[in-house]
Amino acid sequence: MPAATAAVATEAAVATERWDGLLLGATLATLDAETGYGLVEDGALGWRDGMLAYVGPRDGLPGEIDALADEVIEADGLVTPGLVDCHTHAVFAGDRAAEFELRLQGASYEQIARAGGGILSTVGAVRAASEAELLRQSEPRVLALLRDGVTTLEIKSGYGLDFDNERKMLRVARALGERYRIDVRTTYLAAHALPPEYKDDADGYIDAAIGWLPQLQAEGLVDAVDAFCEGIGFSPAQTRRMFEAARALGLPVKLHADQLSDLGGAALAAHFDGLSADHIEYTSDAGVRAMAEHGTVAVLLPGAFHVLRETRLPPIERLRAQRVPMAVATDCNPGTAPLLSLRQAMQLACTHFRLTPEEALRGATQHAAKALGLADRGVLRTGMRADFVHWRIRHPAELCYWLGGDLAHGSFAGGRRLT
């Protein structure tokens, strides 16, 4: 067995019961090492009760194939961990295609927002939609992400901006997870924009949004708390108040940080032991150091960078130097990232931010899972969740090489086939 294969092959668990499934023949990209893809040629992947029971070469299996598993899948191509989209706004109503045209005519994101467009136009559409209608409109976006390899998904609120509509968005996110049998992590983002009812009273609105949080948590609708800390969003002081309320309830935080300017958002998130700081185009050296010290993941969102035609790059080299994990996500939203493929986000991260294909794949699996506080997925290793994707390609770099196309042959979450 080649040395690289031996290093990543995992010993089989002692099989006291038959496995639920066994996939044979594909190359495994386990990512189960600090560097490299962890490739296993002619691999075998076995799972039982939603967990991986064997990851390694076919010739290392602990018995006869027919005696090991109830279902045996002969495969070629490539298998990777399931993709994790750790930053989306996939639940919304309507669209903002007209803003796309305005930006091409020279209007800035800030100008559109200050003129009453942007987030507030989506707020109006969400408020007007029933819960059933919001689910109907959001479902195709989630399906598109799943069909391109996503097996875990984060969805934020933030287009309701009052109690009933924030609750409606979070309920729809939970319903999508139940309908498609995937883990949907919900994030409370009431501090996304200032609603019309609180015009010129941002502090009053933060008071209200903090007041809604305990009930939403009690209903099981909130996994984390986020905010938009920016000149056209909320100040660091207002963000801090929201984070203190989250901490009092035992909820982890994350932050839209330093996208348009450096308000110290990444450092603020880190000081609250935040799961992630997202966007971070303007994050300073001090912010990067704080993220490194507190284990906060940098979530790169190249889709928004691309659509907004930004030129200020995130501090990639400083993140590498400080060994800050870099995740990649779609930021799927109606205004600045109408992106329905995490694999396309990986390609954009390579093209715009100069990530390597390996960094992009880790960013959409292992590091994205960390950005959601999930330690049981993101690599192929015995004892981890059986979340994986079988691809119609031969090498992991192809995931970032091909622009579009139907590359996912089948996806599994917790050992259950999704697509």
Calculate the alpha carbon distances from 151 to 113, 277, 304 in Å.
Answer: 33, 22, 22
User: Model confidence over 75-102: pLDDT tens digits?
Assistant: 999 999 999 999 999 999 999 988 888 8
Same domain, yes or no, for 197 and 110? yes
Does the annotation list 159 as a binding residue? yes
Pairing of strands 78-81, 388-391: antiparallel
Contacts of residue 257, defined as CB under 8 A and 6 or more positions apart, other chains included, come to 229, 263, 265, 266, 268, 269, 277, 278, 279, 280, 283, 287
| 337 in any annotated domain | yes
Same domain, yes or no, for 267 and 180? yes
Same domain, yes or no, for 300 and 315? yes
- Secondary structure of the chain in HEC code, one letter for each residue: CCHHHHHHCCCCCCCCCCEEEEEECCEEECCCCCCCCCEECCEEEEEECCEEEEEEEHHHCCCCHHHHEEEEEECCCEEEECEEECCCCCCCCCCCHHHHHHHHCCCCHHHHHHCCCCHHHHHHHHHHCCHHHHHHHHHHHHHHHHHCCEEEEEEECCCCCCHHHHHHHHHHHHHHHHHHCCEEEEEEEEECCCCHHHCCCHHHHHHHHHHHHHHHHHCCCCCEEEEEECCCCECHHHHHHHHHHHHHCCCCEEEEECCCCCCCHHHHHHHCCCCEEEECCCCCHHHHHHHHHHCCEEEECHHHHHHCCCCCCCCHHHHHHCCCCEEECCCCCCCCCCCCCHHHHHHHHHHHHCCCHHHHHHHCCHHHHHHCCCCCCCCCCCCCECCEEEECCCCCCHHHHCCCCCCEEEEEECCEECC
Does the annotation list 409 as a binding residue? no
Does the annotation list 347 as a binding residue? no
- CA–CA distance, 389 with 321 (Å, rounded to integer): 31
Exposure string over 273-304, b if 16+ CB within 10 A, otherwise e: ebbbbbbbbbbbeebbbbbbebebbbbbbbbb
Same domain, yes or no, for 335 and 385? no
| 10 in any annotated domain | no
| 99 in any annotated domain | yes
Same domain, yes or no, for 175 and 315? yes
Same domain, yes or no, for 196 and 305? yes
Contact 168, 176 (CB under 8 A): no
Domain tally, the chain: 2
Q: Where in the sequence is the domain holding 35, given as residue range(s)? A: 19-81+380-418
Does the annotation list 367 as a binding residue? no
Q: What is the CATH number of the domain that holds 46?
A: 2.30.40.10
Find the range with the poorest average confidence among 15-24, 222-231, 272-281, 314-323.
15-24
Residue 367 pLDDT? 98
| 200 in any annotated domain | yes
Same domain, yes or no, for 145 and 241? yes
- CA–CA distance, 414 with 48 (Å, rounded to integer): 9
| 54 in any annotated domain | yes
Residue 409 pLDDT? 96
Q: What is the CATH number of the domain that holds 327?
A: 3.20.20.140
Residue 169 pLDDT? 99
User: Model confidence over 354-398: pLDDT tens digits?
Assistant: 999 999 999 999 999 999 999 999 999 999 999 999 999 999 999
User: Model confidence over 169-205: pLDDT tens digits?
Assistant: 999 999 999 999 999 999 999 999 999 999 999 999 9
Region 108-129: mean pLDDT is 86
Q: How many CA atoms lie within 13 A of 287 on its CB side?
A: 28
Same domain, yes or no, for 26 and 145? no
Same domain, yes or no, for 276 and 185? yes
User: Model confidence over 4-44: pLDDT tens digits?
Assistant: 443 344 444 444 589 999 999 999 999 999 999 999 999 99
| 6 in any annotated domain | no
| 261 in any annotated domain | yes
Q: Can you give the C-alpha Rg of the chain in angstroms? A: 21
**Cα of 310 vs its chain's centroid, Å:** 21
Same domain, yes or no, for 132 and 66? no
Does the annotation list 336 as a binding residue? yes
| 2 in any annotated domain | no
For residues 133, 136, 141, 142, the Cα torsion angle rounded to the nearest 10 degrees is: 110
Does the annotation list 89 as a binding residue? yes
Q: Of 337, 354, 371, which closes a domain?
A: 371
Same domain, yes or no, for 64 and 96? no
Residue 183 pLDDT? 97
Does the annotation list 96 as a binding residue? yes
Same domain, yes or no, for 121 and 250? yes
